[in-house]
Amino acid sequence: MYKAKAYSAASATAPLASTVIQRREPTERDIQIEILYCGICHSDLHTVRDEWNSVMPTIYPCVPGHEIVGRVTKVGSAVTKFKPGDLAGVGCLVDSDHTCPSCKADLEQFCGNATFTYNSPDKHLGGVTYGGYSDSIVVDEHFVLHVPANLNLAGVAPLLCAGITTYSPIHRWGDIKGKKVGVVGLGGLGHMGVKFAKAFGAHVVVFTTSTGKNEDALRLGADEVIISTDAEQMKQHAGTFNFILDTVAADHDLNAYINMLGLEGNITLVGAPDKPLALSSFALLFGRRSVSGSLIGGLAETQEMLDFCGKHNITSDVEIIPIQRVNEAYERLVKSDVKYRFSIDMASLKSE
């Protein structure tokens, strides 16, 4: 074992603070990574504040972070995919059983024995896994991604969660070229959803509660913007969407968006509010519409997404912060005041 610098929360109400954690020495299949940037996902905040207690209670201390990009510092003897000096990415998963039907179908995110990057039982050290708000991490090579060399690394980090979480459902939906696609919420996930839907040729419409995000939405690739609190604007678009991606992190009126769908339209939820959303059967019955969900993506699909981003020069629009400003960033996240992902420059951890 060795010591790594990190930021952790001691309880649901404590701010994140500097700490030292233990990491394992790389085993023969492991890769040790010096973390350069880590994005701040709203899931980090949900977890740190134990907002998902009813589904996934948080074990403290909690070191969040699952949008990790860095450089390989050491590899185990059986590692074949990476060598020291290579760029590397780690997302929400660090292990799975490799034998279940989900793993065999390259859908490791649905493995019943998956280990998430933080707040999951740690098979090596006991306790729970610690995430990317740290200067280094050790991960089985199967769960480490190759990062395209042409992209800005601070903007790549959020691709490891916000990127794959939006790429996967949009890509899986089918040929969305020319289709009317809505993205609800222009935050970390939402702004990546806009970029991917645009890259796949959709007519992209952003639903936002923030009047100040209009210009940014258009710059990011949206064709139209709807202020979702304006009943008249919502009415004009009712029944016209083929597909909507809902990224909202808090309670909201799901039925209002279902009513935006046309015949057999689908709304896919990726946002994970702590409380259940009310669902009107009638909104689904009329138009044979459907609601579904999507969870990150498997490793192969995540690599495909990163390669796609490399080819099309897609990164997240980030506000780079030192780790010392992480608590302030969380307060801004709650207020939907993020343009459009915080990316922590992990060099700032050196001074702790």
**Chain contacts with ligand NAP (rule: CB under 6 A):** 41-43, 46, 161-162, 165, 185-190, 208-210, 213, 247-250, 252, 270-272, 294-296, 333, 336, 338
From the CB of 234, what's the least distance to ligand NAP, in Å?
13
Task: Look at residue 259 and give the partner it binds from ligand NAP, Zn ion, none, a contact being a CB closer than 5 to 8 Å depending on partner kind.
Answer: none
Q: Which of 120/247 has CB closer to ligand NAP?
A: 247
Q: Which residue is nearest to Zn ion (CB)?
A: 41
Minimum CB separation of residue 82 from ligand NAP in Å reads 25
- Minimum distance between the CB of residue 336 and ligand NAP, rounded to whole angstroms? 4
Decide whether 41 or 346 has the Cβ nearer to Zn ion. 41
Secondary structure class of 35 (helix, strand, coil): strand
CB-based contact 94:66 (threshold 8 Å): no
Q: Which is nearer to Zn ion, 43 or 96 (CB)?
A: 43
Closest to ligand NAP by CB, 176 vs 333, is: 333
Helix (H) or strand (E) holding 242: strand 241-246
The binder of 125, among Zn ion, ligand NAP, none, by C-beta within 5 to 8 A per type, is: none
Measured from the CB atom, is 135 or 246 closer to ligand NAP?
A: 246
Which residue number, 191 or 203, has a Cβ lying nearer to Zn ion? 191
Q: The tokens of 344 are what?
A: 């922590």
Contact 174, 75 (CB under 8 A): no
Structure tokens at 116: 């998430």
Residue 328 beta carbon to ligand NAP: minimum distance, rounded to whole angstroms: 14
Quick one: what does residue 33 bind among ligand NAP, Zn ion, none, with the CB cut-off 5 to 8 Å set by partner type? none
Q: Is 244 exposed, middle or buried (0-12, 13-18, 19+ CB in 10 A)?
A: buried
Partner touching 289 among ligand NAP, Zn ion, none, CB below 5 to 8 Å by kind: none
Question: Which is nearest to 8 in space by CA: 63, 68, 82, 77?
Answer: 63
β partners of residue 205: 182, 224
Nearest-CA neighbor of 304 among 174, 202, 132, 172? 172
Which partner from the list Zn ion, ligand NAP, none does 203 bind, CB cut-off 5 to 8 Å by kind?
A: none
CB of 52 to Zn ion, least distance (A): 12
**Nearest CA to 159 among 147, 172, 173, 143?**
147
Helix axes 299-312, 162-172, angle to 10 degrees: 90
333 binds, among ligand NAP, Zn ion, none (CB under 5 to 8 A by kind): ligand NAP
Give least dist CB 76 to Zn ion, A: 27
**Identity of the amino acid at 347:** A
21 sits in which H/E element: strand 17-23
Q: Which helix (H) or strand (E) is 137 found in, with range?
A: strand 136-140
